[in-house]
Amino acid sequence: MSSTALPTYFLSHGGGPWPWMLAHYGNRYDALKASLEDIPRQLGSAKPKAVLVVTAHWEASELRISASPKPPMIYDYGGFPDYTYDIQYSAPGSPEVAERVQQLLNGAGIAAHLDPLRGFDHGTFSAMQPIYPAADVPIVQLSLKQGLDPAEHIAIGRALAPLREEGVLIIGSGLSYHNLRQFGAAGAEASHQFDAWLRASMALAPAEREARLLAWESAPAARAAHPREEHLLPLMVAHGAATADGAANVYHEDSFMGALAVSSFRFG
């Protein structure tokens, strides 16, 4: 990584609109909140000109890129207090950066289309609120590609790597454990097995790391941790944009939601 290149991140973004519910959750989100709040310090003086969020909450047959200068909100959750359907995260979009993302992807032979209507989903605004609470950094979202192929998403990351030298922070927003049918004590063993494998894999040299990611389904408790892998695929993009760089575990706890092991990673 050159001295001017920004790192990339895979962030476990937590559940629903949690940054607006801290009084309700008590200290349950303290560790995740602290890890997200620390990202600007990690970046130092290199405040990005924009953030590209690869969100687990958007899939398309061909990649789509949010291109609205003023993205609306998407309340893609259910069963939360009424006020959480009125919250706002008012960061601007960046049509210019969206066009650059499209240019890089199309140039690599990856079909990608601008979406002028797409708003911020909770995988974006719940992760970004603790990082930039003033909502003063433009955000562009990128969908996942249907089929959820790890190799395709690593290739997407590779195509986007030049953004790191252009002041754009690439964040893959998902969750390292995502089995909503066992989101608590029932999922504890599977989450700990998978998370231990994931952290060990991220500590390997980049080529070995990639080999593990491509074969992630062979990991201990892989399908128990991710019955459907959309919350893991943003990790592939973050890795792909930083395939020459080492990875660091920037957030880990063993008792998320009382029982689960979850992690986040920085590349570079």
- Please state, rounded to an integer, the average pLDDT across all residues of the chain: 96
Whether 45 has a pLDDT exceeding 90, the answer reads no
- pLDDT value at position 205? 97
- pLDDT value at position 225? 95
Nearest 5°: the CA angle 99, 143, 100 is 15
- The domain ranges of the chain are 8-267
Q: Which residues pair with 42 in a beta bridge?
A: none
Q: Which residues pair with 59 in a beta bridge?
A: 144
- Section 139-160 average pLDDT: 98
Over the stretch 165-177, which tens digit does the pLDDT of each residue have? 999 999 999 999 9
Whether 182 has a pLDDT exceeding 90, the answer reads no
Q: In residues, how long is the chain?
A: 268
- pLDDT value at position 174? 97
- pLDDT value at position 2? 62
Whole-Å CA distances, 24 to 21, 48, 81, 166: 5, 32, 10, 40
- Section 28-49 average pLDDT: 94
Over the stretch 114-143, which tens digit does the pLDDT of each residue have? 999 999 999 999 999 999 999 999 999 999
Over the stretch 2-13, which tens digit does the pLDDT of each residue have? 668 999 999 999
Q: How far is residue 135's CA from residue 254's CA, in Å, rounded to a whole number?
A: 30
- pLDDT value at position 3? 66
Band of residue 190 on the pLDDT scale cut at 50, 70, 90:
very high
- pLDDT value at position 183? 84
Q: Which CATH number fits domain 8-267: 3.40.50.1000, 3.40.1260.10, 1.10.1420.10, 3.40.830.10?
A: 3.40.830.10
Whole-Å CA distances, 226 to 18, 175, 179, 195: 21, 9, 6, 11
Whether 1 has a pLDDT exceeding 70, the answer reads no
- pLDDT value at position 211? 98
